[in-house]
Structure 1
Amino acid sequence: MAQEDIAQNFEAPQKCLKVLVVDDHPAFRFGIIRLLKQMDGVVACGEAGDGFEALEVFRKQQPDIVLMDISLPGRDGVELTKMMLSEDPKLTVLMVSMHDETNYALRALRAGAKGYLRKDESLTELGAALARVTNNGLYVSQRFSDRLIFKAIHSGEELGDAYLRLLSDRELEVFRAIGQGLGTREIADRLCLSVKTIETHRAHIKRKLRVGDSNEIVKLARDMQSMREDVAAGQA
């Protein structure tokens, strides 16, 4: 895929976004910065190769977004994410790492990162990832989101809640109402919204959770509702 095509996946924001690139490999930083230059409304305000330098550049440049590696000399990316967010809660951190998501993505998200992008996908997915996290969304790869939904269905662990962070607050309300057995009209009445609005939310939920049709979304919602009830019963 050409760099121009990749950049087109990112819609220019209303204000110019300052991006700090933190990675201990100079060649990778160079490639990411080169790609950022192809995107309208984005400027690479700095780069850093270790944790100490990253904090220094972060405090000096005050970026809107940090593209953060996990394995860094000095301090790792997860620790840096916590430190930076404690100083600037409005900061958006997108992890870009060679490590497998299974072991690191949830750790990064719990630290406050808005997304996790593998380096082997960064050149093709960076635009889409930036578009998601700059619009208050959460970005993980399709492969990892599939793992999350599988574990959410087959266990009562908190992975299910982490997966549902992909949904907006309103979408989550609709999803949970579906799990309680309510139809579209009933959900609309409960939330004081139009049927058309509920149908739009259902379409967004299907897309974000990558389910094929209405029957699948109902089954998933009911399965997760049952898990929540089982967990609540066990804690009573």
Structure 2
Amino acid sequence: MKARIVVIEDHPMFRERLVHLIETEPDLEVCGEADNVPAGVALIREKKPQAVILDITLKSSNGLELLKDLRALEIDVPVLVLSMHEESLYAERALRAGARGYITKSEASSQILAALREVLRGEVYLEPKTMARIVQRAVAAKKDQPLNVIARLSDRELEVFDLLGRGRTTREIGARLRVGLTTVDTYRARIKEKLRLENGARLFAEASRWVQSRE
């Protein structure tokens, strides 16, 4: 009997490739697709899949919100989170929200399938480099090192901070996260306040330094 999988991904081309990848496996099948949080939750309730593959960044929201919704509704289904972010903070937050695995989209197709089968078996999947960074963060937390200052940011603020560090403009960030320019400016202001940065130049400098330190 094939394991039934729901795919929640808002980029049509990547979702199509992912569905094709799963459908070519003899023990797996896709029973539904969605591109946003409300549709994803409804689909999971209707189809009752054995597992879910979830993009962490979705239209007008993010995958972490869907994970929190599933927990609130007491829907117990293993979720593998796919992300463009290699930063361990995203993985930590996904696991805390209820995910059973976290893998970056840059990984090979065979590794994504291996991760999916891992969560289907009831195990937790993390890439070795992500696990190493989580351990590093845990050690830093005990020593009260500055590395943990970034943990003050909300999930969305962390996304904006990461994109700023990669040289993205306000317009590019808005397009990527599907929010308006004013919303991006609000996130930037909150980040500056939480990290105690006096201006935009310091914000860009700190974001760039942080991204470079993670790669």
Given the two structures, how large is their TM-score scaled by the length of structure 1? 0.55
- Cα offset, 1:57, TM superposition: 1.8
The residue matched to 1:96 in structure 2 has which SS? Answer: strand
1:68 and 2:33 correspond: no
Indicate the residue corresponding to 1:27 in structure 2: 13
Indicate the residue corresponding to 2:170 in structure 1: none
The residue matched to 1:30 in structure 2 has which SS? Answer: helix
Equivalent residues in 2 for 1:209-224, closer than 5 Å: none
Partners of 1:44 and 1:87 lie apart in 2 by 23
1:114-172 deviations in whole A, cap 9, x for unaligned?
01010111523112101221222111111111223344456538xxxxxxxxxxxxxxx
Equivalent residues in 2 for 1:84-123, closer than 5 Å: 84-121=70-107, 123=109
Indicate the residue corresponding to 2:122 in structure 1: 136
| Residues 83, 103 of structure 2: 8 Å contact kept | yes
In the alignment of these two chains, the number of paired residues is 143
Partners of 2:72 and 2:140 lie apart in 1 by 35
- Cα offset, 1:102, TM superposition: 2.2
Given the two structures, how large is their TM-score scaled by the length of structure 2? 0.60
The residue matched to 1:99 in structure 2 has which SS? Answer: coil
| Residues 101, 118 of structure 1: 8 Å contact kept | no
Indicate the residue corresponding to 1:59 in structure 2: 45
CA-based RMSD = 2.0
Indicate the residue corresponding to 2:34 in structure 1: 48
Partners of 1:25 and 1:37 lie apart in 2 by 18
Q: Which amino acid aligns with 1:110?
A: R
Indicate the residue corresponding to 1:36 in structure 2: 22
Partners of 1:71 and 1:41 lie apart in 2 by 28
- Cα offset, 1:106, TM superposition: 0.4
Partners of 1:105 and 1:121 lie apart in 2 by 15
| Residues 7, 15 of structure 2: 8 Å contact kept | yes
Partners of 2:38 and 2:60 lie apart in 1 by 6
| Residues 18, 63 of structure 1: 8 Å contact kept | yes
1:153-210 deviations in whole A, cap 9, x for unaligned?
56538xxxxxxxxxxxxxxxxxxxxxxxxxxxxxxxxxxxxxxxxxxxxxxxxxxxxx
1:2-21 deviations in whole A, cap 9, x for unaligned?
xxxxxxxxxxxxx4321111
Structure whose CA Rg is larger: 1
| Residues 88, 134 of structure 2: 8 Å contact kept | no
- Cα offset, 1:101, TM superposition: 3.0
| Residues 92, 134 of structure 2: 8 Å contact kept | no
